[in-house]
Amino acid sequence: MKEFLKKKGSIIIASAVALAIILGVTANSISGTTFVSGAVNAVMRPISSGVAVLADFFEGIYGYMFKYDRLKNENEELKTRVADLEQQVRENSAAEDENRRLRELLKLKEKHSDFELETTKIISWGASNWTSTFTINKGSNSGIELYDCIITENGYLVGQVIEVGANTALARTVIDPNMSAGALIDRTGLAAVACGYFEYMTKGNLKLTFIPNGATIVNGDVITTSGKGRSIPKGLVIGKVVDAGFEATGQTQYAVIRPMADINGLSQVFVIKSFNVED
């Protein structure tokens, strides 16, 4: 209907106008006789009015169609402009995030000048529900080796390399059931072990075990790496205690750790290729 009116609208309007003119001329041409003129006018008047109304109706429809097309084009232009602005916002946000990461990385390098870092990106996540792993876009060609430690720009522990290819490497996260690291309760300096457990991994957490008898642990305690084992540097933040209690035997304590690294939100991570080992 719309296309018909666009193509034929002007013809219909012109025809209606012409018909009105013809009716008017016809009426005038026979206006010589009063009776006949009156009769003709009586007949022609409603017809002429109807034709005029019809002409106005089609003219309104015809004008609306063209106004609709103009508004539609303007709407498409506005959508394009909005999309461009949204893209600019995304690019600016990405640039701000990158600048923030670089600032944090600079602070980390100032604090740990012995770290040799390799910047990498996470290209995929493990599909298994029983483990927590990811793949990075660099491998042995970039100097990455087995059991290298992986961190965020803030120095938060992310995980450890477990397989190395030429240009990619597979890593497990701190919450993976096969992950363990020597740990320290930062507030007291007491040593323990941070381990991944399946039941904790499903909730995004890990477990602190081998806690010395009599140790006091409270929610909010920061857990850092102890450097034991020589594959993970000392002083990296693992996470914070969110719960604590005693094992079923009632003899040993445990704590639940929430990682400081946002495991599910990671995209860029840093591999520590070498560092000074502290005895």
More confidently predicted of 106 and 236: 236
pLDDT above 90: residue 133: yes
Residue 248 — pLDDT band, cuts 50, 70, 90? Answer: confident
| CA quadruple 128, 134, 140, 146: dihedral, nearest 10 | -70
- CA–chain centroid gap for 52, Å, is 59
Q: What is the pTM of this model?
A: 0.65
Tokens of 155: 């120095």
Q: What is the pLDDT of residues 99-120, one digit of tens each?
A: 766 677 667 777 778 889 999 9
User: Is the pLDDT score of 220 beyond 50?
Assistant: yes
- C-alpha 12/C-alpha 203 separation (Å) is 72
For residue 162, which amino acid is it? Answer: I
Please enumerate in sequence order all residues whose Cβ is within 8 A of that of 139, keeping only pairs 6 or more positions apart, or say none.
164, 165, 166, 167, 168, 169
Q: Is the pLDDT of residue 239 over 90?
A: yes
Question: Residue 40 has what pLDDT?
Answer: 47
User: What rounded mean pLDDT belongs to the chain?
Assistant: 80
Look at residue 117 and give its three-state secondary structure: strand
> Residue 278's pLDDT is what?
72
Closest CA to 202 of 244, 249, 264: 264
